[in-house]
Structure 1
Amino acid sequence: MLKYQHIANEIEKYIEDHALKQGDKLPVLEKLMTQFGVSKSTVTKSLDLLEKKGVVFQVRGSGIFVRKHKRKGYINLLASQGFKNSLEEFQLTSEVLQLKVTKPTQEAAVNLNVELNQDVYYVKRIRYIHGQPLSLEESYFNKAIITYLNKEIVAESIFNYITEGLGLKIGFSDTFLHIGKLNEEEAKYLELEKDEPKLEMESVFHLNNGQPFDFSKVTYNYQQSQFFVQASSYSL
């Protein structure tokens, strides 16, 4: 875990330990720098991370304030690093159905901005929440960027491995939502009936330099899934 991530965890723990509520003010930036013995840039990165998670909000010239926490069990629809952080209080497990090095489909090649003869990792897995199927995932990872994957990594958090194991910085994602009906295969894996409703989320994840590295399609079990959206600001 990187230093700024550790500090972010400590600040979040401070909020929980002191039962701080919406609008309560946190110590000023300079005090946090002294408390953790780190630079201004490190504390700023920690606060930016917490702001993205919806834990705090910052008001220029006024300070750092606690933001009302998200509802328990809801998945952040705009998360750029997977949904595990949204469900960290829940028991999440994965069953790896397939992991292989292959060539991309035409659709995957376009979204990853790679050639059709370039190697990619193909991952297919089911995610479970408390033993119940939550989603069916199919992903293509650019092997030139994500140089190594194995079943142990895929069964846990691929994005944690990318940031901590490979040292890459994830930037942003483009997400497209489709409402439809389950086909026979999807229904089987999600333990539902064919033609029951589904939400399919198609995402392209990029590094902070803009390179796409992951093209994924996630089909959610409508009985297990709840979503929320956190916006940092609005322009009228």
Structure 2
Amino acid sequence: MYHEVAEELIQDILANKYTDKLPTEKELVEQYQVSRNTIRKALDVVFAHGMLRRVRGSGYYIIKKPLQSQTVLNLSIGFDKNSMVSGGPLRSKVVLFDVIEADDELARRGNVHVGEKMYQVVRLRYLKDKLYSLEESYFPRAVVPFLSQESVEHSIFSFLKEAYQITGNTSENYVHMQALTARQAELMERRKDEQIMCLDGINYLASGKVFNFSRTYFAYPDLALYYHTQSLDI
């Protein structure tokens, strides 16, 4: 239950329903009709996603996005959750949907075995009618036995949660510059070999199995990256 409350709070923050501070725990308990413990767990999730600052004795304050950027990619949330993208949801145009076997490069990138069968999904994604990204995603069939055409046209992660109760436990993200191939450049209406910012991501189940890995090439103007950290005593 607390996951649903957390997701709604995140969506409300992204939609600017709360622009400065969240209601008190007591007010949230009344609003969602759940226990205080559920609210506290939900707040922990939202905090871990980098949406809030805790101020002892005062409450939870909204972390405001940089003034110099219109669009912020919050790496603490995960760009694949299209309902979580500020200004979203994203609209998808499916370019390729197929079953392939992992070659050496994909096996290395996705931490899977060479020859492993997986769904390949290539999508152009749009935010406010502007190209946001080119997304190349892979889903090992040993973990994800079926993807529907409808799911790849909308939210794959929502489908996985509803159909298989698959939710990510941990993820690894790597931001780097990458040269576009001729095909990628054609799809994005860019130049071949143009260097563009991209994000490699691997998502794991609690068991340690990979259920998704992807490479996303970003095209949206004025895009900023944000991530959230906590101090650790080491």
Q: Residues 88 and 146 (structure 1 numbering): CA distance in 2 closer, same or farther, change over 3 Å?
A: farther
Q: Would you say the 8 A contact 1:200–1:217 is kept in 2?
A: yes
Which moves more between the two structures, 31-40 or 178-187? Answer: 31-40
Matching residue within 70, 92, 95 for 2:65: 70
In 2, Cα distance between equivalents of 1:122 and 1:232: 32
Counterparts of 1:37-186 in structure 2, within 5 Å, are: 37-59=33-55, 62=57, 64-71=59-66, 72-80=70-78, 82=80, 84-90=82-88, 92-186=90-184
Q: Deviations over 1:144-175 (max 9, x none)?
A: 21221122111111122222332122122111
- Percent sequence identity over aligned pairs: 24
2:71 alignment partner, SS class: coil
In 2, Cα distance between equivalents of 1:196 and 1:11: 35
Q: Which runs of 5+ in 2 are unaligned?
A: none
In 1, Cα distance between equivalents of 2:143 and 2:101: 15
Q: How much does 1:191 deviate?
A: 1.1
Q: How much does 1:12 deviate?
A: 6.8
Which moves more between the two structures, 184-193 or 34-43? Answer: 34-43
In 1, Cα distance between equivalents of 2:58 and 2:199: 36
Q: Residues 44 and 209 (structure 1 numbering): CA distance in 2 closer, same or farther, change over 3 Å?
A: farther
Q: TM-score, normalised by structure 1?
A: 0.79
In 2, Cα distance between equivalents of 1:25 and 1:124: 38
* Number of residue pairs matched by the alignment: 229
Give the equivalent residue in structure 2 for 1:228.
225
Q: Residues 224 and 165 (structure 1 numbering): CA distance in 2 closer, same or farther, change over 3 Å?
A: farther
Q: Residues 108 and 193 (structure 1 numbering): CA distance in 2 closer, same or farther, change over 3 Å?
A: closer
Q: Residues 10 and 138 (structure 1 numbering): CA distance in 2 closer, same or farther, change over 3 Å?
A: closer
CA RMSD of aligned residues (A): 3.1
Q: Would you say the 8 A contact 1:139–1:215 is kept in 2?
A: yes
Q: Residues 102 and 233 (structure 1 numbering): CA distance in 2 closer, same or farther, change over 3 Å?
A: same
1:9 aligns with 2:8: yes
Q: Residues 8 and 86 (structure 1 numbering): CA distance in 2 closer, same or farther, change over 3 Å?
A: closer
2:228 alignment partner, SS class: coil
Q: Which runs of 5+ in 1 are unaligned?
A: none
Q: How much does 1:75 deviate?
A: 1.3
